[in-house]
Amino acid sequence: MSPSAVHDAVASVNDPEYPDVSIVDLGLLVSIDVDEANRSATVDLVPTFTGCPALAMIAGDVEAAVLTVEGIDSASVSWRRDVVWDTDRMSFAAKRRLATDYTVTLRRKDGTLRCPVCGSDAVTDQSMAGPSRCRSVAWCPSCRNPVEVMRA
């Protein structure tokens, strides 16, 4: 058993909202602590959006994945409230995947939005009641597409 095997196991878990995007690519992983003597691993994650109903599912998936690593008999997952997730934690690949596969965009630091379909900067917020509690809906007047905005 090696710590990198545990990391690989965590990285194999995809976000339930985006079934082909790893939670590691989304920047959810804070730290992994492997105790080889006790054959246990502790995984610290940061939620993208506090209260996101997918959190329990993600924690369960991570636990199950870590338990498949040879030499690990117990796994625990905790959500860190002292770490703030922001879009800088996401990998470039994850951002691009969200844009192309899910038309999800991320709010820039200055609050503006860029359309993932046509690249327009004219995207306007529509409603805070999005398809899930983790996303809200915006509208691009240039290409007339609805755009989902990932909440941070």
What does DSSP assign to residue 89? G
Residue 117 near Zn ion by CB under 5 A: yes
Position 140 contacts Zn ion (CB under 5 A) = yes
**Which phi and psi angles does 103 have, rounded to 5°?**
40, 50
Q: How many residues bind Zn ion (CB under 5 A)?
A: 7
* Comparison of 98 and 115: residue with beta carbon closer to Zn ion: 115
143 binds Zn ion (CB under 5 A): yes
Could you say whether residue 137 binds Zn ion (CB under 5 A)? no
Q: Which position among 120, 126, 132, 133 is part of the footprint of Zn ion (CB under 5 A)?
A: 120
96: left (phi over 0), alpha (psi -120 to 50) or beta: alpha
Q: Which stretch binds Zn ion (CB under 5 A): 2-10, 88-96, 104-112, 141-149?
A: 141-149
How many Å apart are CA 81 and CA 79, to the nearest integer?
6
Window contacting Zn ion (CB under 5 A); options: 17-25, 91-99, 105-113, 132-140: 132-140
Return the closest-CA partner of residue 43 out of 16, 20, 72, 85.
Answer: 72
Among 43, 77, 90, 115, binds Zn ion (CB under 5 A): 115
128 or 143: CB nearest Zn ion:
143
**CB-count burial class (<10 Å; 0-12, 13-18, 19+) for 31:** exposed
Cα dihedral 145/90/11/97 (nearest 10): 30
Which residues of the chain form contacts with Zn ion (CB under 5 A)?
A: 115, 117-118, 120, 140, 142-143
